[in-house]
Amino acid sequence: MDYKNILEKLPYSKPFLFIDELLNVNEKSAEGIYTFPEDSFFYKGHFKNNPVTPGVILTECMAQIGVVCLGIFLLGNEKTNSENIKLALSSSEVDFYLPVFPGETVKVVSEKLFYRFNKLKCEVRMYSKKDKLICRGKIAGMIKNESV
Amino acid sequence: MKEKEILDAIKKIVTPYTQRKEGLENFSQKTDFIKDLEVNSANLVDVILDVEDEFNIEIDNESMEGMLTVGDAKNIIERKLASA
């Protein structure tokens, strides 16, 4: 399976794209990695003279890899493209354990809880390069292909 | 299962997802999940999944699309229970 076509269908771009590579995507799960560039825009203000990746950005990274990429795979239609995929985050509940500093690479692992009536809910975890748990939670979104 | 039991169960299920609590005060078959209770579309899916668990039935896409009011939900539940 070529995951490139999933990445091409993502409706995000810099500076709000938080996926470098997908390692595995199947009917039940998704796994991908991202390295936070040291010059990411949010480090300037979060925090003053003490750059730490904001929790909302970690949540966004988990949602993009764990929910959106898996959702695009599940939509599975050849006709899907970034313009006709309609997305909305519907809920997130995340616990944080470790900080992520500029330049760090993280791995996101997601498992599908259910995908019904356009709603995809997943259990998502983020790990450091040393396989330490950074954060975990449940994230859900609505995903639809409007070209059908 | 009696009609009232089904309506009570639906009310119990939808309560935590309801934004407009006044909508629960005159809860009836005419109550519209989105207009009267202000349930969002993502939580409407949760309501349906909870209904499936509560009544041990499976709701298909077509039935889901017709489930706008409490009465619609009750009718679908009754139909599924009768055919089970």
User: If DSSP states are collapsed to H, E and C, what string results for A73-137?
Assistant: HHHCCCCCCCCCEEEEEEEEEEEECCCCCCCCEEEEEEEEEEEECCEEEEEEEEECCCCCEEEEE
Q: Which residue of B has its CA nearest to A89?
A: B42
Domain that holds residue B53: 3-83
Structure tokens at A138: 């449940």
Give the total number of structural domains in chain A.
Answer: 1
The overall average pLDDT reported for chain A is: 94
Partner-chain contact B42 A114, CB within 8 Å: no
Helix B70-83 × helix B41-55 angle, to 10°: 30
Would an 8 Å CB–CB cutoff place A88 in contact with chain B? yes
C-beta separation of A11 from A63 below 8 A: no
So what's the pLDDT on residue A82? Answer: 73
Give the total number of structural domains in chain B.
Answer: 1
For residue A78, pLDDT beyond 70: no
> Max alpha carbon distance in chain A (Å)?
49
CB-CB neighbors (< 8 A) of A114 in chain B = 49
So what's the pLDDT on residue A43? Answer: 98
CB-CB neighbors (< 8 A) of A90 in chain B = 40-43
Nearest CA of chain A to the CA of B45: how many Å?
A: 7
Q: Which residue of B has its CA nearest to A139?
A: B42
Q: What is the CATH number of the domain that holds A62?
A: 3.10.129.10
Q: A17-26, A64-73, A79-88: lowest mean pLDDT where?
A: A79-88
ipTM: 0.89
| Cβ density class A27-58: b for 16+ within 10 Å, e for less | eebbbbbbebeeebeebeebeeeebebeeebb
A145 pLDDT band, cuts 50/70/90, is: confident
Surface-to-core class of residue A77, CB atoms within 10 Å of its CB (0-12 exposed, 13-18 middle, 19+ buried): middle
Q: What is the CATH number of the domain that holds B50?
A: 1.10.1200.10
User: pLDDT per residue over B25-71, tens digit each?
Assistant: 999 999 999 999 999 999 999 999 999 999 999 999 999 999 999 99
Domain that holds residue A34: 4-145
For residue A83, pLDDT beyond 80: no
